[in-house]
C-alpha cells in the first residue's frame, strides 16, 4: 500500500526552508517564491511546468506546540521528466540567497509518504549512530551506504534499518 502511495508522489518535489511572511500568504506570493527557487535551479522553468503547489501543515514542537520550521511546499509537476531534471540539479541551491529563506537555507527533496518519511528519520539516526557516510532518497526510495567504496542498500522497512551497523 505504501509503494502505491509513494508512486502517486512521483511527480512531486518538496521545497523546505521557504519562510512565510504571515499566516495570510497569498497564492501569488507562494507562486513567486516557488518559481524563484526553481528558476535558480533551472532557468527554463515557468509556471506552466507546475500542475499545483501548496504548503504542508506547520511542523510543531510536540512539547511546546510552537512552530519550529516553516511549512514545506509540495510542488506537483506536469512532467516527471522536468521534475527529475530539477531534482538532479538541486545542488545549484547550495548557497542560494533569497530574501524569503529561513535561517537554515532552502532544500529540494523527494516528497515522501508519511511511512517513508519515518523510515528516513530512523535510518538517519541509525546512520549517525553507526557512522555510515551516506543516506539519500531517489524517486521515493531510501538508500544508505557506509563509505565511498561500499555498496548501497535500499531501506524498504524497519528490518532493513537493522542492516546499518
Q: Which structural domains are found in the chain, ordered by start?
A: 10-110 (3.30.70.1820), 114-161 (no CATH)
Query: pLDDT at position 20, please?
Result: 84
Q: In whole angstroms, what is the distance from residue 110 CA to residue 10 CA?
A: 8
pLDDT in tens, 48-100: 999 999 999 876 666 666 666 789 999 999 999 999 999 999 998 887 888 77
Query: pLDDT at position 59, please?
Result: 65
Contacts 24+ apart (CB under 8 A), 19-24: 19/70, 19/100, 19/101, 19/102, 20/55, 20/70, 20/71, 21/100
Calculate mean pLDDT across residues 116-122.
97
CA 46 to chain centre: 20
pLDDT in tens, 25-38: 899 999 999 999 99
Please name the residues in contact with 89: beta carbons below 8 A apart, sequence gap of 6 or more: 41, 42
Q: In whole angstroms, what is the distance from residue 9 CA to residue 11 CA?
A: 6
Calculate mean pLDDT across residues 97-122.
89
- Please say whether the dihedral angle defined by the alpha carbons of residues 44, 76, 95 and 66, taken in this order, is positive or negative: positive
Calculate mean pLDDT across residues 100-104.
72
Mean pLDDT for the chain overall: 91
Query: pLDDT at position 136, please?
Result: 97
Q: How far is CA 49 from CA 44, 74, 94, 115, in A?
A: 9, 14, 23, 28
Percent residues over pLDDT 70 in the chain: 92
Question: 0.75 exceeded by the pTM?
Answer: yes
CA 155 to chain centre: 17
Query: pLDDT at position 92, please?
Result: 87
Amino acid at each position: 500500500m505504501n509503494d502505491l502511495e509513494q508512486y502517486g508522489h512521483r511527480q512531486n518535489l518538496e521545497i523546505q526552508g521557504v519562510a512565510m511572511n504571515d499566516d495570510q500568504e497569498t497564492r501569488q506570493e507562494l507562486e513567486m517564491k516557488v518559481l524563484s527557487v526553481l528558476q535558480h535551479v533551472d532557468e527554463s522553468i515557468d509556471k506552466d511546468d507546475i500542475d499545483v503547489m501548496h504548503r504542508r501543515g506547520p511542523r510543531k514542537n510536540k512539547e511546546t506546540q510552537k512552530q519550529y520550521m516553516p511549512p514545506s511546499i509540495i510542488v506537483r509537476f506536469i512532467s516527471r521528466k522536468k521534475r527529475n531534471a530539477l531534482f538532479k540539479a538541486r545542488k545549484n541551491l547550495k548557497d542560494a540567497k533569497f530574501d524569503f529563506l529561513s535561517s537554515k537555507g532552502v532544500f529540494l527533496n523527494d516528497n515522501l509518504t508519511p511511512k517513508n518519511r519515518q523510515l528516513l528519520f530512523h535510518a538517519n539516526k541509525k546512520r549517525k549512530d553507526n557512522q555510515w557516510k551516506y543516506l539519500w532518497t531517489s524517486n521515493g526510495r531510501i538508500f544508505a551506504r557506509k563509505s565511498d567504496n561500499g555498496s548501497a542498500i535500499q531501506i524498504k522497512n524497519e528490518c532493513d534499518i537493522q542492516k546499518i551497523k
